[in-house]
């Protein structure tokens, strides 16, 4: 999973996706942001446009937007983008949606950024709209913010619906009701277990995959790990021990392969079925490949 609003051309994303496909990974995912606060401001490509390109430039790997804020697009536009990429990819597209959170990109680009309560209400409204749009036959929905009365075609084929968010109750409950996959940011195993239990209770036997996403900090040896920790801490103007404690407290896989394996096993025991390895620096694909390999247990 990568964040190309921090920098990354289509060619770099394609290289990462093709490597992941060749390695037999399940999915290549990217965020949906239009801007960052970098100085100088890096290029920021559109998520749906990139994933449409990857749909034609890859063959087997699933492709996921993780996640698209409902503040950027009307749900009709989200639905049309999703089913088009689903068609282009032969059913390999996964649609992730969320409330939107980065105020900077909304303000600077002129998007409305409602207060939290309205964003959440719009989010729930959009989920119901999409549920109607993707269903069989004529679609009808009358919500507080969105309405639908149309025969919406094409319909999804292999597309999966992903609901992402880190809240302890409302997000996992909605995922249990609406999604095929529930995704949250990596957290300590006890927190992950509690969220997944909420989702499972609402799903009531319906199969919803529980996945987590985050950026591991690893090394083949202790020396390699300490070197990467020091560099990462310096970028954040932190001491290495301070950054390491943050990673530990948040449940991230860190350290050498044996430590990483323990963390991954604990997350699996908590109910996490798949991990998206978040990677930000598309200029350093060699380090990305090593990190993914270590998290996989290679």
pLDDT digits (tens, 9 = 90+) for 175-198: 999 999 999 999 999 999 999 999
pLDDT digits (tens, 9 = 90+) for 227-249: 999 999 999 999 999 999 999 99
Instruction: Look at residue 298 in the predicted model and tell me its pLDDT.
Output: 84
Instruction: Look at residue 41 in the predicted model and tell me its pLDDT.
Output: 86
- Could you tell me if 125 and 146 are in contact, meaning their C-beta atoms sit under 8 angstroms apart? yes
Give the confidence band of 259 by pLDDT, cuts at 50, 70, 90: very high
Instruction: Look at residue 225 in the predicted model and tell me its pLDDT.
Output: 97
User: Is a pLDDT exceeding 90 seen at residue 33?
Assistant: yes
Instruction: List the domains of the chain with CATH numbers.
Output: 4-221+256-295 (3.20.20.30)
Give the confidence band of 38 by pLDDT, cuts at 50, 70, 90: confident
User: Is a pLDDT exceeding 90 seen at residue 8?
Assistant: yes
User: Is a pLDDT exceeding 90 seen at residue 29?
Assistant: yes
Give the other-Cβ count within 10 Å of 154's Cβ.
10
Give the other-Cβ count within 10 Å of 157's Cβ.
13
Give the confidence band of 24 by pLDDT, cuts at 50, 70, 90: very high
Name, in order, each residue with C-beta under 8 angstroms of 137's C-beta and a sequence gap of 6 or more: 151
H-helix or E-strand spanning residue 211: strand 209-214
């Amino acid at each position: 999973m990568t964040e190309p609003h921090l920098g990354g051309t289509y060619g770099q994303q394609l290289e990462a996706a093709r490597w992941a496909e060749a390695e037999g990974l399940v999915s290549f995912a990217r965020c949906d942001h239009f801007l960052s606060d970098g100085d100088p401001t890096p290029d920021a490509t559109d998520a749906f446009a990139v994933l449409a390109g990857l749909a034609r430039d890859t063959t087997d790997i699933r492709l996921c937007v993780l996640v698209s804020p409902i503040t950027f697009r009307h749900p009709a536009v989200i639905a049309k983008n999703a089913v088009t990429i689903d068609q282009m990819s032969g059913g390999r597209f996964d649609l992730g949606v969320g409330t939107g959170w980065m105020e900077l990109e909304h303000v600077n680009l002129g998007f409305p950024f409602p207060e939290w309560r309205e964003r959440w209400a719009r989010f729930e409204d959009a989920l119901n709209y999409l549920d109607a749009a993707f269903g069989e036959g004529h679609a009808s929905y009358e919500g507080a913010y969105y309405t639908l009365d149309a025969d919406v075609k094409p319909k999804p084929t292999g597309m999966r619906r992903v609901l992402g968010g880190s809240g302890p109750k409302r997000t996992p409950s909605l995922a249990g009701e609406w999604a095929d996959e529930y995704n949250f940011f990596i957290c300590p195993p006890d927190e992950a277990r509690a969220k997944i239990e909420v989702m499972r209770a609402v799903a009531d036997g319906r199969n919803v995959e529980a996945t987590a996403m985050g950026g591991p900090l690893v090394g083949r040896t202790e020396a390699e790990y300490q070197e990467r920790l020091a560099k990462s801490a310096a970028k954040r103007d932190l001491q290495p021990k301070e950054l390491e404690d943050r990673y530990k407290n948040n449940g991230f896989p860190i350290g050498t392969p044996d430590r990483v394996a323990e963390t991954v096993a604990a997350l699996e025991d908590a109910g996490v079925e798949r991990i998206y390895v978040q990677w930000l620096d598309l200029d350093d694909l060699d380090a990305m490949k090593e990190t993914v390999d270590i998290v996989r247990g290679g």
